Structure 1
C-alpha cells in the first residue's frame, strides 16, 4: 500500500509540472485525495509561485490554507517574494515563521535578506536581527548566508559591516569575493573605500586594489566587477589594462565585459583598441544587438568614425531607442545636422516600434543649434512638449539657449533662462556670457558674470571674456578694473593646449 501511495504522489507531482493553470493542479490534488501530502502541496506552491504560468497571489492563498508547517514551503514563498515586486513580504513571512517556531535552514536567510537594498536603514536593522538569529542557529558560517549578509549590509550603506562579515569568513568562495568587489564598485570612489576600510577595528586592513590582488581565483564575474569599477571611477586606461590582463589569464570575456571596455574606449577616444574589440566580437560570433551593439556604435561615434558607426547602426536588426539616440547625437555633434534631422524623421515614421525620448530631442536640438535653425528648433521644442508630453529639463533649455545665443537672439535666450521652472546652472550663464562677447551685449554679460560668481568659483576664462567685452565696448576703465581684480586674486590666464595621439 505504501508503494502505491508513493507512486500516486509522484504521478501527481509529474502531472503538475506539465500543467499551465494552477487551479487545474489544485483540482487534481483534491480529486485524488492527496491534500495532506507535503510533497504534493510543495510542488503546487512551487509551481504557482515560481512558474511563468503561476500566480503569487494564488500561491499565497494555498500556503495560508495548508496545515503543513514545513520549512521548504516557507522557503519557496520567501524565494518567490524576494524575486517579486513586493520583496518586503519576504520579511513579513519570515516573521511569521518565527512566531510559528518553524525552524529555518541555510536557504531561509538568503531569501529573507535578498532585496534589503530596496528599503535602506529599516531593512538593515531587520537584517542585523536575522544575522543574530543565524548566529543562534549556527547557520552563520554557511557561504550562502554570509554572501547574503555582505550583499544586504553593503546595499543598505553599511559597507564596514559587510566587510567585517567578509573578513570573518574562514573560507572565501569566488562568489564571496565577487559580492565584496561589487559592493566597492557601488561606492564609485576607491579613496573613500580605503578610508571606510580603516574604520574596521582589529583587522588586517587592505586597500581595494590589494583586496583584488589577494583573490585566489578570478572568474568572469570577478573581472567584470573590477573592470566596471575602473570605468565608473573614470580610470579608463586602467580598465583597458585589466582587460588585457584578463585575456592573458585565459578568461573568456562576456558581453558585460565588452560593454564596459567599449565604454572606456569611447571615453578615451581609443579607436584602434575599439576596432580590435569589434574584430573580437566577430571572431567569437557575438550578436551585435541590444546594449552591446549600442556600446559599439557609441564607441565609433565618440571616436569620430561615423562611417563605422553607420555600419553598426544599419547592421542592427532590433534598434532600441538608445541606439537611435546615439546615432542622432553623434551626427549632430559632428556637424551633420541635416542627416541627424533626417534620421529623426525616419525614427518618427517607426513610432510603433520605437518612441523618441528626452535624449532624442537633445540630439535634435543640438543639430538645430549647430546649423542655426532657429525656427525649426522652436518647433521641435514645442513638438517635444505637445506631441510626446516630455517635460523639458535643464539640458533641453540649455540647447535652446545655445541655439538662440549663436544666432544673436540674446533677449530671447535671456528670457528662457529667467523663466525656466528651475534655476539656471553655470553652463547656461556661461553660454550667454560667451554670446555677449560675439554680439557686444554688456548688460547681459555683467549679469551672467555675477550669476556665475554666485554659483561657483570663477574661471580665468570668465574674467578674460568680461574684460574683452568691456574692451569691445571701449569701456577702458572697466577693463583696467577687471584686470586689477585678476592680479589681486592671483588669477592668471592659462595658455591653450591640445593633445594628439601618435602611434
Structure 2
C-alpha cells in the first residue's frame, strides 16, 4: 500500500504515553491492526481491518484511528467518502487526523470541503491547528482562487505565532500567485527569513505561470547568485518561462545547465524541455531530445505532434499521430485546432469527422470550440448546429468559451436569431460573450442594435476590453454611424482606460473614409501616436476606391507597399480604381509588375453548404460534378437578368478586356454567381441560399444578387471577408453601404 514516505504532517501522541514519540510504545506499535493496514491493497481489505478494529476497540485509539484514516484518504486506493465515514466514527480525532482529512480534500475535486473541515476543526478539536494544518487549508484556498479566505488563513497563522514558518510561507507564495496577486506573493517571498529551494521554486513558478517570464528568469539568476542549488522542479518552471518568452537561446543554455549540474532528468523535466523547444520553434532540437528520451508518455507524443502541426508540416504531424501508442483527445485537438488556426477549416472538419468515426475518445470543450471556429470560417451551419445539439445531449456545461464559440458560429453562418437565442439562454456572460454578440450584430449591419447591446453590457457591470471596442467601431463603420464612432473612439482612453490600438485606428480610418471624410481620415493617420500599419493604409485605400480618389489612393498604396511589398490586395484595389476611371494602361502596368515580382492575386473562392456538405467554387470553376447543370442555370440567370434591364458593371474587371461580350462573360463567372447558381438548383425554394466569399464581394456580384433575389423570389445571404449581405426582394440589408 502506498503510504507517506516523508510525512508532512505532525504525528499524533498516544494519550497514555508520556513521550512525544509513539514509536516507544511497544504495545501500540505491535497492534496487529497496524500491520494489517500496511498490507492492504484495496478498500475492501481496508474495510475488513476497519471491522476488526471496531470489534477490538482499536478504533478508539488515536494512533490506530489516524493510521486507518491515512490509508483510506491518501493511499493509492483511497476513497474520500469512506474516509469521511471513518472519520465521523472517531470519538475525538486528534490534530493529525484532522490534518489528514483536510489534506486529502485540498487535493481533491472538492477543495471547498477541505475549508469546511478546517472550520469544523476550530469548533470541535481540543487542540489548535498547527504548522501542518495551514499549508493544506491554504492549498484548498489556492485551488478555489479564494483570495479573502486565504488571507484569513494568513492572518490566523500570524496570530498563532506561525507566521514565520517556512512551509506556511511557501504555501502563501503559491496561494497569492494562484489568485493573481503577484505583488503580495513577492512580498511574502521577500519577507521569508530563511528561503529554501521550495521558496525559490514557488516564486519562480508564480512568475512563470503569471505571464511574467522575464521576472521568473531574473529570479532564477538571483537564486543562482545566492548559491541555492536548483532542482528539477526549478528547471521545469524556468523552462516554462523560456517557452513563454520564446527565448530559444536561454532555453538551450538551461538544458545544458541541467546536464552540467547533473540535475536528474525525469519524464516531467524532459517534457518541459520538449515543450520549450517546440514553443520556441525548434522542432529539430525537440526531435533530438524526443529520440533519446528513455521514457515517453502521451504528453511527450502530443508535444511533438503540436510542434509539427504548428509549423504546418502536416505530413510529419500525421506520422507522429499514427505512431502514438494511444491517441487521446488532446492529440486530436492539436490537429483540429492547428488546421483551423492556419486557415484550413475543411481539413479541420475532416479530422473532426474522423474523430466521430473512431467513437473514442469523446470530444471535449477544446474540440468543440475549435470545430465551431472551423464551421464559422466555412459557414457550415449544419455541422455547427449538430454540435450545439451534441452539447445539450451530453449535458455539457455551456461555459463562456462554448457560449462565445456558438454565438460566433451562428452569426458567421448567417443565423443571427440563433446567435441571440444562445446569448439569451445563458446567465453568465463575460466580456467575450458580450463582444461576440456585438460583433455578430455588427457584421449583419445592425449597428444600432450593436450599440444598444454595448449599453446593456455596461449596465450589467461588465467592463469592455480592446476587442469590444474593435467590434463597436466596426458596427459604426458598417452602418455609417460616424458621429457615434468618433465618440466611442475618443472615449476609449479617458473613460474606459483602454489605449486605442492599431485595429481601433484602422476602424476609425474606415469609418471616416467610408463616409467620405477622407481629409479627416488622413489627418487622423498623421496624428497617430503609433506608426500606421498596412491595415490603416489599407482602410484608407479602400475608402479611396469607394469615392474614386485616384491621387490619395496612389499615396495610400505607396505607403502600404512600403510596409508590405507583396500585399496583393493593394495592387488589386489600385487596379480596380484605375479600371473604374478607365486608366487601362496603369492597370496593365500594375499587372505586369505583379507578374514580374511573382505576386499573385488571392483567388476569389465562394463556398455553400448543401445537405451538410460544403461545396467550393473558384472563378470560372468547372470541376464540380454538376458543372453542366450549374452553367445551364448561369445562362438562364444571364438571360433573365438582361431582360430585366441588368447592365454588367465592367469596372470590376481587373484586367482590360477589349471585346464587350467577353467582359460580360468574365463577370458572370465570378465565384459568388457560381455558388448562387448551385444553390438555386440544389436547395428548395424555402431554404435560404447562404454563400461565404473569402474576399470582399464585388459591386457587380452585389447588384446581381439583389436582382436574383427578386427574380427567383429567394433569400440570399452572402458573407464576404468583412460582413453579411441579406438579399431579399431586390434589396440588401447593407443599403448599398459596405
TM-score, length-normalised on structure 1? 0.77
Q: Deviations over 1:283-316 (max 9, x none)?
A: 1111212111111111111111100100111112
Alignment of 1:169-180 (within 5 A): 169-180=293-304
Q: CA deviation at 1:271?
A: 0.7
- Residue 198 of structure 1 is matched in structure 2 by none
Q: Deviations over 1:100-128 (max 9, x none)?
A: 779x6x66654564433245256424422
- Residue 220 of structure 1 is matched in structure 2 by 329
In structure 1, runs of 5+ residues without a counterpart are: 36-40, 66-72, 195-205, 472-478
Deviates more, 1:268-277 or 1:251-260: 251-260
* CA distance in structure 2 between the aligned counterparts of 1:116 and 1:433, rounded to whole angstroms: 41
Quick check: 1:340–1:367 contact (8 Å CA) kept in 2?
A: yes
3-state secondary structure, aligned to 1:190: coil
2:312 to 173, 187, 190: 190
Alignment of 1:254-403 (within 5 A): 254-350=364-460, 353-403=461-511
Q: CA RMSD in A?
A: 3.9
Name the larger-Rg structure: 2
3-state secondary structure, aligned to 2:396: coil
- Residue 415 of structure 1 is matched in structure 2 by 523
* CA distance in structure 2 between the aligned counterparts of 1:438 and 1:92, rounded to whole angstroms: 57
* CA distance in structure 2 between the aligned counterparts of 1:356 and 1:62, rounded to whole angstroms: 39
Q: Say which structure is richer in helix.
A: 1
Q: Deviations over 1:432-451 (max 9, x none)?
A: 44544554544334434544
Deviates more, 1:325-334 or 1:410-419: 410-419
Matched, 1:465 2:577: yes
Corresponding pairs, count: 457
* CA distance in structure 1 between the aligned counterparts of 2:272 and 2:594, rounded to whole angstroms: 54
3-state secondary structure, aligned to 2:194: helix
Quick check: 1:433–1:465 contact (8 Å CA) kept in 2?
A: no
Deviates more, 1:232-241 or 1:106-115: 106-115
* CA distance in structure 2 between the aligned counterparts of 1:126 and 1:487, rounded to whole angstroms: 50
Matched, 1:497 2:671: yes
Q: Deviations over 1:383-439 (max 9, x none)?
A: 334422433333323333333333333332333334333444445445444544554
* CA distance in structure 1 between the aligned counterparts of 2:584 and 2:228, rounded to whole angstroms: 83
- Residue 91 of structure 1 is matched in structure 2 by 220
Residues 179 and 45 (structure 1), Cα distance of their counterparts in 2 relative to 1, 3 Å cut: farther
* CA distance in structure 2 between the aligned counterparts of 1:55 and 1:237, rounded to whole angstroms: 46
* CA distance in structure 2 between the aligned counterparts of 1:116 and 1:388, rounded to whole angstroms: 33
* CA distance in structure 2 between the aligned counterparts of 1:392 and 1:112, rounded to whole angstroms: 34
Quick check: 2:482–2:511 contact (8 Å CA) kept in 1?
A: yes
Deviates more, 1:264-273 or 1:396-405: 396-405
Residues 344 and 56 (structure 1), Cα distance of their counterparts in 2 relative to 1, 3 Å cut: closer
- Residue 233 of structure 1 is matched in structure 2 by 342
Residues 245 and 411 (structure 1), Cα distance of their counterparts in 2 relative to 1, 3 Å cut: same
Q: CA deviation at 1:464?
A: 3.2
- Residue 244 of structure 1 is matched in structure 2 by 353
* CA distance in structure 2 between the aligned counterparts of 1:450 and 1:51, rounded to whole angstroms: 54
1:152 to 276, 281, 284: 276
Quick check: 1:348–1:355 contact (8 Å CA) kept in 2?
A: yes
Q: CA deviation at 1:249?
A: 3.8
TM-score, length-normalised on structure 2? 0.54
Q: CA deviation at 1:26?
A: 8.2
Quick check: 1:45–1:63 contact (8 Å CA) kept in 2?
A: no
In structure 2, runs of 5+ residues without a counterpart are: 1-18, 25-62, 64-93, 101-128, 135-151, 596-653, 656-665, 684-738
Quick check: 1:48–1:56 contact (8 Å CA) kept in 2?
A: no
Q: CA deviation at 1:490?
A: 7.7
3-state secondary structure, aligned to 1:420: coil
